[in-house]
Structure 1
Amino acid sequence: MGVVRTIVFPALRLLVWALIAVALLYIAFVRGSGEDTEAAASPSAVVDPPAAAVVRGDVTNTVSLQGSIQADPATTVKATATGVVGKVRAEVGDDVEKGTPLFTVAVTTEPPPATDPLAPPAAPTTRTVTVSATVPGTLATLDVLPQQAVTVGDAVASVSPGTLTVSAPMTQAQQFRLLQPPSTARVTVPGGPGTFECTDLRTGTPATTPETPDPDAGYVDPYADPSSAMTGATVSCAVPAGVQVFAGLSATVDVTAGSATGVLLAPVTAVQGSVGTGTVWLVADDGAQVETQVSLGLTDGQNVEITQGLEEGQQILQFVPGTDTPAGQPGGGMYGMGY
């Protein structure tokens, strides 16, 4: 029994460890290298880029913008004569019309020099000039007092129109989609009176810019979609009288700039370009990808109308070559070219 315990068991233990070591070496160097050689010899899998069919359908170019309600600026009233304020005829808060008297100015005119040195000097003459409101509205400020001296061009009062405007900034892509905007838009104010139609729709650049500089104005995100950059342009429209909203409230502005039915459509991700003309990659029967020029119409942000260059049922690449595709697709990432 002592021999078995001191010689046999240790020998068996060494044999087991030796077998394990040999097995590990075989797996690491023989079998592994064979699998690597086989994998290297086999061709790598090729994933065909996804394609999409040109279909016929309807498209409505509705752009949804996030903006706010703003009070229309007051109009400044300037003094029309140089002299001394006489009678003040209005008070702040009064409703005024164009031409409503606000105050009078006593204008003194000195007489010309006498030609006869012996004649008594002529007395100066005084005439009264009335300064009136130049627009209708509510008198917001009146910065004069009786006996106060004023000069032509002095800002002496302001008249608020009492109207409101909905204003919303646009991105680069949205500005291209609203090259020919309609005259009205649909506005929704959260918690407000419900959706209403605003009129006198116009696009442009605000007359004033924020006085506080943007600390990130000089930074350009290299991964940002250029079409999502703000351009400084805005869409604005007038809030109709009788709609109960207030300055400072947020609002959603939906602008519908055209619609079409039964037209050829392609995904916007398949088109390089967005206004007038663009390029798609047509998939031929043999799988070849042919760069093809097309004419473009309306878009809803997902699909774009093809007015010329393609036929219904043709296959095109779903994504512009060289751009990322959405997550879940081969080569997934963020959207590439499009609207």
Structure 2
Amino acid sequence: MGITRRIIFPTVRIFLWAVIAVALVKIAFAGADVTTATDPLRPTAEIVEAHVAATTGTITNKVTVKAAVVADAATPVRATLAGTVTKLLAKGGQQVDAGTAILLITLETPVDPTVTTDAETGVQTVTANKPKIKTETIKVPHAGTLALPTLKDQVVSVGDVIATVSPGTMSVSGTLTPDQQYRLLGAPADAEVTLKGGPAPFTCTNLRIGAAAAATDTTQVAGTTGQSASGVVTCAIPAGAVAFPGLGADLAITNGTAENAVVVPVTSVQGSVQNGNVWVVQPDGTSASKPVTLGLTDGETVQIVEGLALGDQILQFIPVGDGGKPDCSNPATFDPTVCAG
């Protein structure tokens, strides 16, 4: 072992350094071989556009909205006559039925005195007349808990809020993205509610869709990729269902089902509502735009009502740069991947 360390290893090291030195001298004086093949460089890769065939399937347009339980707002009760509150017929905090009278408003209108003249003496006699009195009994529009801040002898004007009635009911409410709102055109009157940590799913009724509340900054919808809110959906919780304001919920709205429908991926279609465009693969391998009529969508596939036949080959993805940016205000060209960002 001593001979190996003292003689063999140093000899090998000297030999390696000699080889490196010779190589460096050759490169310095002869140059490195940088010659290339005589054949010109040609690309060896080819970009192939993915194709997909129109197939049949069952498609269900089911939109699930992240929502929350809210107490239904109190209904204001307004004065329908300008005058003075002359009588209170109910008390604040009282449970009232629809049509319950809560107060009386009286309006006194002065009547000019009657002046008579004696024909013989010419003396005039002035007789005071009683004022013209009009009364209005104010009633609540529906049952609930009455809040009555108005006082007796208070002067009110037409339209003044003189009381409120809290219905004591609750609803499930959530915000909608533009693509969800388009998918809920002609929505049904009920939906399925699943409360977080609550009872089994149940059906809510009187489903309503309205515009989103105006805000100084853009409100984003929970559970979406940065999409802004364009609408609000509300559905009434039935009596007997145990819920609490602020409780989280999933609101599942089924807006139609189609069986044995011609379907394609949503990525293949420009537009998402009513009308759209697909790119049909031609015999020579090129593609051509073709208008189609759209039906239901589940967010991943879309029904083609007219314009494609079963088995037709189309591009799986819309050609980049074709047609420019779609008109986001037009349902026929609305594209959630572009418009809802």
In the TM superposition, residue 238 of structure 1 has moved relative to its aligned partner by: 1.9
**Distance of 1:173 and 1:150 partners within structure 2:** 47
Report what 1:193 is aligned to: 199
In the TM superposition, residue 309 of structure 1 has moved relative to its aligned partner by: 2.5
Q: Which runs of 5+ in 1 are unaligned?
A: 1-7, 218-223, 324-334
Residue correspondence of structure 1 range 109-258 to structure 2 within 5 A: 109-116=109-116, 119=125, 122=128, 124=130, 129=135, 131-206=137-212, 209-210=214-215, 213-214=216-217, 229-230=227-228, 232-258=230-256
Secondary structure of the structure 2 residue equivalent to 1:204: strand
Change (3 A) 1:149 1:178: closer
Report what 2:293 is aligned to: 295
**Distance of 2:107 and 2:275 partners within structure 1:** 66
Change (3 A) 1:297 1:128: closer
**Distance of 1:200 and 1:20 partners within structure 2:** 88
Change (3 A) 1:304 1:111: closer
Change (3 A) 1:297 1:39: farther
**Distance of 1:197 and 1:292 partners within structure 2:** 41
In the TM superposition, residue 107 of structure 1 has moved relative to its aligned partner by: 4.3
Amino acid across the alignment from 1:41 = L
**Distance of 1:126 and 1:277 partners within structure 2:** 65
Change (3 A) 1:113 1:190: same
Change (3 A) 1:282 1:237: same
Secondary structure of the structure 2 residue equivalent to 1:59: strand
**Distance of 2:243 and 2:45 partners within structure 1:** 61
Contact 2:93 2:146 in 1 (8 A): yes
Secondary structure of the structure 1 residue equivalent to 2:33: helix
TM-score (norm 2): 0.75
Contact 1:85 1:106 in 2 (8 A): yes
Contact 1:98 1:132 in 2 (8 A): no
Contact 2:112 2:129 in 1 (8 A): no
Contact 2:178 2:229 in 1 (8 A): yes
Contact 1:91 1:139 in 2 (8 A): no
**Distance of 1:49 and 1:201 partners within structure 2:** 43
Contact 2:101 2:140 in 1 (8 A): no
**CA deviation digits over 1:37-65, x for unaligned, max 9?**
57961323113122222211111111111
Secondary structure of the structure 1 residue equivalent to 2:114: coil
Report what 1:89 is aligned to: 89
Report what 1:327 is aligned to: none
Secondary structure of the structure 2 residue equivalent to 1:30: coil
Q: Structure 2 residue aligned with 1:309, among 288, 307, 310?
A: 307
Report what 2:54 is aligned to: 54
Amino acid across the alignment from 1:194 = A
Residue correspondence of structure 1 range 33-112 to structure 2 within 5 A: 34=36, 41-112=41-112
Query: Greater shift after overlay, 53-62 or 156-165?
Result: 156-165
Secondary structure of the structure 1 residue equivalent to 2:196: coil
Query: Greater shift after overlay, 40-49 or 252-261?
Result: 40-49
Change (3 A) 1:153 1:172: closer
Contact 1:281 1:292 in 2 (8 A): yes
Contact 1:63 1:254 in 2 (8 A): yes
Contact 1:271 1:337 in 2 (8 A): no
**Distance of 1:196 and 1:71 partners within structure 2:** 18
**Distance of 1:293 and 1:121 partners within structure 2:** 86
Query: Greater shift after overlay, 41-50 or 228-237?
Result: 228-237
Amino acid across the alignment from 1:16 = V
**CA deviation digits over 1:179-207, x for unaligned, max 9?**
2212211121211223111112232225x
**Distance of 1:287 and 1:38 partners within structure 2:** 33
Report what 2:19 is aligned to: 16
Aligned alpha-carbon RMSD (Å): 3.7
**Distance of 1:77 and 1:337 partners within structure 2:** 46
**CA deviation digits over 1:58-94, x for unaligned, max 9?**
1111111112222322222223444443442212221
**CA deviation digits over 1:272-293, x for unaligned, max 9?**
1222222222234443323333
Q: Structure 1 residue aligned with 2:259, among 258, 261, 264?
A: 261
Contact 1:268 1:304 in 2 (8 A): yes
Amino acid across the alignment from 1:183 = A
Contact 1:169 1:230 in 2 (8 A): no
**Distance of 2:83 and 2:337 partners within structure 1:** 67
Contact 2:89 2:101 in 1 (8 A): yes
Change (3 A) 1:23 1:294: farther
Secondary structure of the structure 2 residue equivalent to 1:115: strand
**Distance of 1:260 and 1:70 partners within structure 2:** 34
TM-score (norm 1): 0.75
Report what 1:332 is aligned to: none
**Distance of 1:252 and 1:286 partners within structure 2:** 49
